[in-house]
Amino acid sequence: MDTLSLMKLLCEILSFNNSTESVCLKLNRLSHEDWEKLLQIATKQIATLILYDRLSHLDSNAEIPHFVQARLRETYHRSLAKNLRMMHHAGLLLDVLGNQRIDVIALKGVYLAEHVYTNIGLRTFFDLDFMVRKEDVPRTLSLMQEVGYITSTYFDVEERNLDIKHIPAMAKNDSSYIEIHWGILEEDEPFNIDLQGIWDRAKKVKISGTDVHALGYEDLVLHLCIHFTYQHNMEIGLGYLYDIALIIQNHREQIIWNGLICIAKSWGVEKIIWLTLYLVKELLSVAVPLAVLENLLQQNDHQSMIDLAINYLMMNSVKEESINITFDLIHLSSSKSLLGKIKIISSRIFIPKYVLARAYNTSPRSLKIYFYYLVRCSELIANYAPTIIKITRKDKNTLASVENEYFKKRLINWYTN
């Protein structure tokens, strides 16, 4: 079976309205090689644990090879052990912040694993994401440093930091990475995220036995939609879309849909939410209320975006080669003007000092920063010169990546207009 067909089968397995009989028949036709490919796709899509859970609930008519069961079971047990360790560290950190009366919202995986998934081992998460109020960031950073956490790169709490939404990842030798957020989206993005409203709607929950806050269901859905579709261009894996599907499937009655629509429109993200909810509906068969979709946007006017997004998601699943490419690079390779090429190159090299400082872990006020502009120039040449050559030679895989970049640019323009 080809990779695209296996990706469609994975969607069917993860679907909330699938025919168990149909899925079993398709699974029983898979060869050893097909199963290997399916596991590879599930890994790439961050969906291995969900696949394990779904296959374990199929009836006895499904003939799952022993090597598949063993591999998935091993992955699950590793995940469970890692997640329990991470939740232990989460509890310790939340106690530290709680003792200093710093309010915290638990974001993404650390919340989803304990409160949305039926089993804490079924949700992959790689770090602990917590959000505090922006005025509490300096104190929070200081507390984390006191208990041994170190930022992974340069960060100055006194700067405006409009292009980031959290302190650079922090870690210490014996524990998990943590990210301390003050927002769910960078402040220089063209949207109007109301952080005070998010805090007002936050609900009290427990994480690892410790009192903490979580996003209200409406904000939770909006945040995950923005994270998957806008921030990561639908490229971080089907598992992240499944998060949204699972929340809607299990908490449809608790979600205040009119409130979700109003918040989305006030933030200016209704197109992002509309597209993501359609993907959830089309790919994972979750019954998103039709009135919600119609109130966000009229489908007749934008059906082409749904078709393009589904095709983009599916085609990305079959890409085997990762190509270093950006939209600026495409402009550079196609520009006929020498002045135009110089402007593009200059804008990529001479980024703001504070951005360069975070990239190379040095102070923007140090004379070293000028040396790192040279380093950046050499790295850009090393990373992107091969791609420019491939574009000029019309390499098939590279041209496919160029098409992807045009689609992403089209999406961004659509979101913001």
> What tokens appear for 392 in the block?
């000029």
Pairing between strand 150-151 and 203-207? unpaired
Q: List, for residues 215-234, the tens digit of each pLDDT value.
A: 999 999 999 999 999 999 99
Tokens of 71: 């591999």
Q: Say how many domains are in the chain.
A: 2
Question: Do the beta carbons of residue 111 and residue 181 sit within 8 Å?
Answer: no
- The token duo for 79 is 């995940």
394 is a domain residue: yes
In order, the DSSP letters of 282-336 are HHH-----HHHHHHH--HHHHHHHHHHHHHHHHHHHH--S-----HHHHHHHH--
Which residues of the chain, if any, have pLDDT below 70? 320-322
Q: Could you say which of 33, 64, 95 is where a domain stops?
A: 64
In a domain, 192, yes or no: no
Residue 320 has a pLDDT of 65
* Rg over CA atoms, the chain: 23
Contact 170, 178 (CB under 8 A): yes
Would you state the pLDDT for residue 121?
Answer: 96
Question: Could you say which of 21, 43, 64 is where a domain stops?
Answer: 64
Residues contacting residue 135 through CB under 8 Å, at least 6 positions apart: none
Q: Find out whether 80 and 120 touch, Cβ atoms under 8 Å.
A: yes
Residue 276 maps to a domain: no
Report the C-alpha gap between 82 and 110 in whole angstroms: 12
Beta bridge partners of 213: 105, 204
Residue 398 lies in a domain: yes
CA distance between the termini of the chain:
41
Residue 82 lies in a domain: no
16 close to 286: Cβ distance less than 8 angstroms? yes
pTM across the whole model: 0.94
Residue 33's closest CA among 71, 63, 3? 3
- Tell me the backbone φ, ψ of residue 412, rounded to 5 degrees: -60, -45
Decide which of 43, 64, 85 is a domain's last residue: 64
Model pLDDT, residue 340: 87
Structural domain contains residue 283? no
- Give domain status of residue 203, yes or no: no
CA 149 to chain centre: 24
Would you say residue 254 lies in a domain? no
Domain that holds residue 57: 3-64
For 208-256, list the strands marked E by DSSP. Answer: 210-214
User: What whole-number distance in Å separates Cα of residue 113 and Cα of residue 98?
Assistant: 21
